[in-house]
């Protein structure tokens, strides 16, 4: 059963401008260390940062909370399996919120181009 669905799209240039203006302070606020290392390992990190930003927005929409008091940037992490498939790891308030909602997992799909990054998140029921 599906408990919630979220979608988000963002212009990569917006994230690139924030990264240029605020540097690591900006990305450390929204990304976990492993996410940051992965993104910065690319010659052009902005699309990879943007798609994780979009993913976290989509996840917060699937929960129906947005980013804020109930669910923060650091409560969500996007990882990659060896196959390249993205998956979500919830930390702290994110994991507590999943359990409180009777959820089992957050499924995610990501896509990005040079100009746009998009994500869809589905909150899956434990039943």
Predicted confidence (pLDDT) per residue in 49-58, tens digit: 999 999 999 9
pTM of the model: 0.95
Domain count, the chain: 1
pLDDT level of residue 126 (50, 70, 90 thresholds):
confident
- The residue to which tokens 């993205």 are assigned: 86
127 pLDDT more than 90: no
Active-site residue, selected from the candidate residues 32, 56, 91, 112: 112
* pLDDT in the model for residue 77: 98
Which residues constitute the domain of residue 59? 2-125
Compute the distance between CA of residue 71 and CA of residue 88 in angstroms, rounded to an integer.
14
Closest CA to 13 of 40, 53, 66: 53
Strands 2-11 and 116-125: antiparallel
Classify residue 16 as left (phi > 0), alpha (psi -120 to 50) or beta. alpha
CATH number of the domain where residue 49 is located: 3.90.470.20
21 flagged as catalytic:
no
SS3 content of the chain, % helix, strand, coil (to 5): 45, 30, 25
Active-site residue, selected from the candidate residues 28, 32, 42, 61: 61
28 flagged as catalytic:
no
Compute the distance between CA of residue 30 and CA of residue 36 in angstroms, rounded to an integer.
9
Helices (H), the chain: 12-22, 24-30, 33-40, 46-63, 92-100
pLDDT tens, residue by residue, 26-65: 999 999 999 999 999 999 999 999 999 999 999 999 999 9
């Amino acid at each position: 059963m599906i408990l919630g669905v979220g979608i988000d799209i963002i212009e990569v240039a917006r994230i690139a401008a924030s990264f240029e203006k605020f540097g690591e302070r900006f990305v450390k606020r929204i990304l976990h260390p492993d996410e940051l290392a992965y993104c910065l390992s690319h010659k052009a990190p902005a699309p990879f940062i943007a798609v994780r930003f979009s993913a976290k927005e989509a996840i917060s929409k699937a929960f129906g909370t947005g980013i804020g008091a109930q669910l923060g940037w650091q409560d969500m992490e996007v990882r990659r399996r060896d196959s390249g498939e993205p998956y979500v790891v919830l930390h702290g308030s994110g994991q507590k919120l999943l359990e409180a909602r009777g959820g089992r997992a957050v499924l995610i799909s990501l896509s990005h181009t040079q100009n746009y990054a998009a994500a869809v998140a589905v909150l899956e029921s434990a039943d």
